[in-house]
Structure 1
Amino acid sequence: METALTRLVGVEHPLVQTGMGWVAGPRLVSAAANAGALGILASATMTLDGLRSAVREVKSRTDAPFGVNLRADAGDAGERVELIVAEGVRVASFALAPSRELIARLKEAGVVVIPSVGARRHAEKVAAWGADAVIVQGGEGGGHTGEVATGVLLPQVVDAVRIPVIAAGGFHDGRGLVAALSYGAAGVAMGTRFLLTSDSTVPDPVKDRYLAATVKDVTVTTAVDGLPHRMLRSELVDALERSGRIGSLLRALRHALAFRRESGLGARQMVREGLAMRHGKDLTWGQVLLAANTPMLLKAAMVEGRTDLGVMASGQVAGVIEDLPSCAELVGRVMAEAERTLTALEALRASGTLPSAG
């Protein structure tokens, strides 16, 4: 199935495995890439040397194109851009809008730039700055998310920009891919669905929690870092929502120090990143400190398997996912179902049951 996305990045299928922190490592990314999707490596929780090692490991596992997700507000964002340029990475994705300068440098080196956005105005901004495509995530998506559902947000963005739009938030099968294509998207990005594969390194007990969840077990809370964050409801989330402001700030300070050790960031660099975050999202210093909760609480669950001490970011689709296929099996299944759905729609149109456009 050829779309503007497959032509742009050189993958076989219009599917993207998103850059999930602590989840989208070399094994998952290379498996997604070998299956014909665009795998994206999550780098925000890696040191610069760790990112270089991870990129080279992906390259040793696959010859297919893949991408790296970068934090545009990171103090060493420029160095990370130079690293992926030097390593010949095909795609740079961003969780926040990158600057004009970062986009220009990447495009100059032939790297495809695909920021993720949650609002029409953000898509318009990065398109005007030269982004090659955009991932637009509706409120059903996991992690930090907005309030507008994908079915409302996606057509807004498709109508507003002239670059390929990749739909995210609520996708897990071939029917969803066809629905996104009907809105004018060039493909879909999936996080939770790729997390719940046999190629994902997330510990099995954590995967079991996802598989047992219903759609009502996926909630949005601001208790973790002060921003709307979609995740599985758990005892820890309940406790965080009950805790007072002082307790939350003290816990966040401990996590900030732990993340400093994990990421290799110096105190001065963390302050610079805090300033950038505060300006970019109009946060109070308390909220900036709370943001330190996220990486370490995610690591506790996604790496260490401690569902009692960590949080589990999740899209609402966790409530309808029931198995753990390999990436190859998942991609094959999604594309086969998409083809069957398109064939069924064409049969309806041919029979006169479904009127043709115009």
Structure 2
Amino acid sequence: MKTAFTELVGVRHPVVQTGMGWVAGPRLVSATAEAGGLGILASATMTYDELAAAIKETRSRTVNPFGVNLRADAEDAGRRADLLIAEGVRVASFALAPKRELITKLKDHGIVVLPSVGAARHAEKVVAWGADAVVVQGGEGGGHTGGVATTLLLPAILDAVNVPVVAAGGFFDGRGLAAARAYGAAGIAMGTRFLLTRESTVPDAVKQQYLDRDLGGTVVTRKVDGMPHRVLRTELVDALEKSGPLTGFARAAVNAARFRRLSGLSWGALVREGLRLRHSGRTRAQVLMAANTPMLLRAGLVDGDPAAGVLASGQVAGLLRDLPRVADLIEGIVADAEAILRRLGDGCCA
């Protein structure tokens, strides 16, 4: 299925596996690339050296294009961009808008810049700065998310920019890809659906937690880091929702220290990050809780302990009941979408 996006990044199918922290490692990313989609490594939860090793391992597993998700506001964002350039990574994706200078640097070295956006004005800004395409995530998506559904956000951004737009939030099958193409999108991006595959390294017991949920099984909470965060409903999340500011602050302080040791960041870097967030209007508790987030996610997604961690999830978890191979997943989505579009093209709506 050729689209403007597949032509841009050099993949066979317009299906993107998002850069989920603690989940999108070399095994999942290379499986996606081998199946013809675009796999994206999650680097925000990696040290620089771990990222370098992950890129090399992914390269050893596939010759096809893949991407790396970068934190635009990270202390070493420039150094990590240099690593992508040196390693010839095809795509740099961002959850937050990268600076104009960073976009220019990456593009000058032939790297496709793919930010995620949650509003038309954000899309217009990054495209004006040179972004090659954008990912649009509606409120159905997992992790940090907004309040506008994909069905409204997607057409708003398609009307605002003239670059390939990839739709995210609520996608999991061929019907979704066909619908996105009908809207005018050049592809779809999925997180939870790829988390629930055989190649995903998330512990099996945790995967079962997702598979057991219905459509009411997720909740958007601000108690993780002060920002809207869609996660599975668990006893821990319920407790966080009921907790007062002192309890949340104490938990966040412990996890911030653990994340500093794990990531290799200095206390100075965390302080500078905190000052930046303070300037954006967030409270002291929210600043500290921002460092709390990676450790809560790690406890659930890596250590397999939902009682001690949170599990980011899109609402699609309520419709998923299997753990397919990545290749079967992508091939099935594309084949079903093509069949739907052919029927619609023939005038059949049944």
TM-score normalized by the length of structure 1 = 0.96
In the alignment, what sits opposite 2:7? 7
In the alignment, what sits opposite 2:323? 324
Q: Give structure 2 stretches of 5+ with no counterpart.
A: none
In the alignment, what sits opposite 2:227? 227
Shift of the alpha carbon at 1:300?
Answer: 0.3
In the alignment, what sits opposite 1:343? 342
Verify the 8 A CA contact 1:73 1:277 in the aligned structure 2: no
**Higher mean C-alpha displacement, 262-271 vs 126-135:** 262-271
In the alignment, what sits opposite 1:132? 132
In the alignment, what sits opposite 1:183? 183
- Which amino acid in structure 2 is aligned with residue 317 of structure 1? V
Shift of the alpha carbon at 1:180?
Answer: 0.6
Q: For the residues of structure 1 that align with 2:194 and 2:308, how far apart are their CA atoms? A: 23
In the alignment, what sits opposite 1:166? 166
Equivalences for residues 100-115 of structure 1 within 5 A: 100-115=100-115
- Which amino acid in structure 2 is aligned with residue 71 of structure 1? R
- Superposed CA deviations along residues 81-107 of structure 1, whole A, max 9, x for unmatched, are 011111110000001000001101101
- Which amino acid in structure 2 is aligned with residue 296 of structure 1? M
In the alignment, what sits opposite 1:193? 193
In the alignment, what sits opposite 1:334? 333
Aligned partner of residue 127 in structure 2, secondary structure: helix
Aligned partner of residue 114 in structure 1, secondary structure: strand
- Which amino acid in structure 2 is aligned with residue 319 of structure 1? G
Shift of the alpha carbon at 1:286?
Answer: 1.8
Verify the 8 A CA contact 1:73 1:276 in the aligned structure 2: no
Equivalences for residues 81-96 of structure 1 within 5 A: 81-96=81-96
Question: Are residues 34 and 272 of structure 1, via their aligned partners in 2, closer, same or farther at CA, if it must alter by over 3 Å?
Answer: same
Shift of the alpha carbon at 1:108?
Answer: 0.8
Q: For the residues of structure 1 that align with 2:9 and 2:278, how far apart are their CA atoms? A: 33
Q: For the residues of structure 1 that align with 2:36 and 2:146, how far apart are their CA atoms? A: 29
In the alignment, what sits opposite 1:296? 295
- Which amino acid in structure 2 is aligned with residue 347 of structure 1? D
In the alignment, what sits opposite 2:313? 314
Shift of the alpha carbon at 1:72?
Answer: 0.5
* 1:36 is aligned to 2:17: no
In the alignment, what sits opposite 2:54? 54
- Superposed CA deviations along residues 140-193 of structure 1, whole A, max 9, x for unmatched, are 000000000000000000010011100000000011001111111100000000
Verify the 8 A CA contact 1:100 1:129 in the aligned structure 2: yes
User: Number of matched residues?
Assistant: 350
Shift of the alpha carbon at 1:290?
Answer: 1.3
Q: For the residues of structure 2 that align with 1:224 and 1:265, how far apart are their CA atoms? A: 20
In the alignment, what sits opposite 2:24? 24
* 1:261 is aligned to 2:261: yes
Aligned partner of residue 188 in structure 1, secondary structure: strand
Question: Are residues 277 and 37 of structure 1, via their aligned partners in 2, closer, same or farther at CA, if it must alter by over 3 Å?
Answer: farther
Shift of the alpha carbon at 1:336?
Answer: 1.1
Verify the 8 A CA contact 1:139 1:148 in the aligned structure 2: yes
Query: What is the percentage of aligned positions where both structures have the same residue?
Result: 65
Verify the 8 A CA contact 1:44 1:69 in the aligned structure 2: yes
Shift of the alpha carbon at 1:8?
Answer: 0.3
TM-score normalized by the length of structure 2 = 0.98
Q: For the residues of structure 1 that align with 2:11 and 2:276, how far apart are their CA atoms? A: 34
Verify the 8 A CA contact 1:218 1:230 in the aligned structure 2: yes
Shift of the alpha carbon at 1:293?
Answer: 1.9
In the alignment, what sits opposite 1:157? 157
**Higher mean C-alpha displacement, 103-112 vs 283-292:** 283-292
Aligned partner of residue 283 in structure 1, secondary structure: coil
Aligned partner of residue 291 in structure 1, secondary structure: helix
Shift of the alpha carbon at 1:275?
Answer: 2.7
Q: For the residues of structure 2 that align with 1:103 and 1:339, how far apart are their CA atoms? A: 34
Q: For the residues of structure 1 that align with 2:31 and 2:195, how far apart are their CA atoms? A: 12
- Superposed CA deviations along residues 28-51 of structure 1, whole A, max 9, x for unmatched, are 000011000000000001100010
- Superposed CA deviations along residues 240-261 of structure 1, whole A, max 9, x for unmatched, are 1111101111111111110001
- Superposed CA deviations along residues 175-218 of structure 1, whole A, max 9, x for unmatched, are 10011111111000000000000000000000000000001011
- Which amino acid in structure 2 is aligned with residue 119 of structure 1? A
- Which amino acid in structure 1 is aligned with residue 231 of structure 2? M
Q: For the residues of structure 2 that align with 1:236 and 1:91, how far apart are their CA atoms? A: 36
